[in-house]
Structure 1
Amino acid sequence: MALGSLSAPAVAVASYNVTEVRYYAQHLIALSQSKANVLATMVDQAKDLPEYDIYKSIPGFSDKTVVSLIAELGDLHRFATSTKLNAFVGIDLRFNDSGDYKSSGFITKRCNTIARKVLFKAISNIASTATYGHQNHINDW
């Protein structure tokens, strides 16, 4: 908004384009406030869950990441092994070996795409903060 007030407008102040931009800017601000309110409600409800403190103990996991993982993964006790959790998220390895050909393996990318994306962004944040002096054991591994 501050930069927009400094720039020279390409259209007249009374133009429909200016009205349309103002409408969309106000709508975007309202959506952003609504998103923040929903996130705050989700955090308030999730704080009582035992998973919340476990996820928050991971370096680089914010409130948004924690409630997103709780919403997508649910109760972790329903997975008997970590392999089953990996398969649910879609990060289990698959190999296409035939005869003498040995593939290096690739993830299957099936099942819960949202949980996989949340985990990918969280790990990316951990790695990027480590470059600025916030070293942790996850990034070291």
Structure 2
Amino acid sequence: MGEKENISAQMITKAKILSEFELLASIPDIGEISAALFIGEIGDLPRFSEHKKVNAFIGIDIRRYHSGKYAGHDHINKRGNPKGRKVLYFIVRNMIRQQKAAPNHIVDCTITSFKKQPHPKKDKVAIIACMNKQLKCIYSMVRNNAKYDYSHKVSMDH
């Protein structure tokens, strides 16, 4: 076994002790390594009082610029944890790639709604929206100690 596999195995072993690991692993397309990396970067998720604070910690909260009559384009803040943001990005990209094999309401509703609007949004905008919904879902699952259930679609706004 190589060094990378050894480190991955150690991370998974340590993460399996935590209750969040089993909850994360219940989400389609989140494997053991992704769950361990997410837990390692986010830490104790219940320490956040609401999902918006998790978004800010990761750095995908929206930054808006307004001055007088000028309203600039919305951008993500990117001030948070860049490694956590990268892990979440790869989780969502994997979900999008595998959406036919493993249905996931986060990808189903977000990608579909962003692509069917009168002016379809760019892929990055849809991915950030999926990342936002994924964080909301994970936050809710951890706070309520509930595994992922496709039939129970969590109400989430754009």
- Same fold per TM (> 0.5)? yes
Q: Which amino acid in 2 is paired with 1:103?
A: G
Count of residue correspondences: 109
Contact 2:62 2:77 in 1 (8 A): yes
Query: Unpaired segments of 5 or more residues in structure 2?
Result: 110-158
In structure 1, the residue matched to 2:26 is 57
In structure 1, the residue matched to 2:3 is 34
Q: Secondary structure at the match of 2:67?
A: coil
TM-score by length of 2: 0.65
Q: What is the Cα deviation at residue 111 of structure 1? A: 2.1
1:137 aligns with 2:105: yes
- Which of 101, 105, 115 is residue 84 of structure 2 equivalent to? 115
Query: Unpaired segments of 5 or more residues in structure 1?
Result: 1-31
Q: Which runs of 4+ in 1 moved over 6 A?
A: none
Q: What is the Cα deviation at residue 124 of structure 1? A: 0.5
Residues 45-103 of structure 1: CA deviation (Å, up to 9, x unaligned)? 21120110111111111111111011111000111111111111000001001122223
The percent of aligned pairs where both chains have the same amino acid is: 39
Q: State how far apart, in whole Å, the 1-side matches of 2:75 and 2:93 are.
A: 19
Contact 2:42 2:84 in 1 (8 A): yes
Q: Which amino acid in 2 is paired with 1:136?
A: N
Structure with the greater relative contact order (CA < 8 A, sep ≥ 6): 1 or 2? 2
Q: Which amino acid in 1 is paired with 2:103?
A: Q
Larger helix percent:
1
Contact 2:61 2:77 in 1 (8 A): yes
RMSD: 1.4
- Which of 56, 81, 97 is residue 50 of structure 2 equivalent to? 81
TM-score by length of 1: 0.72
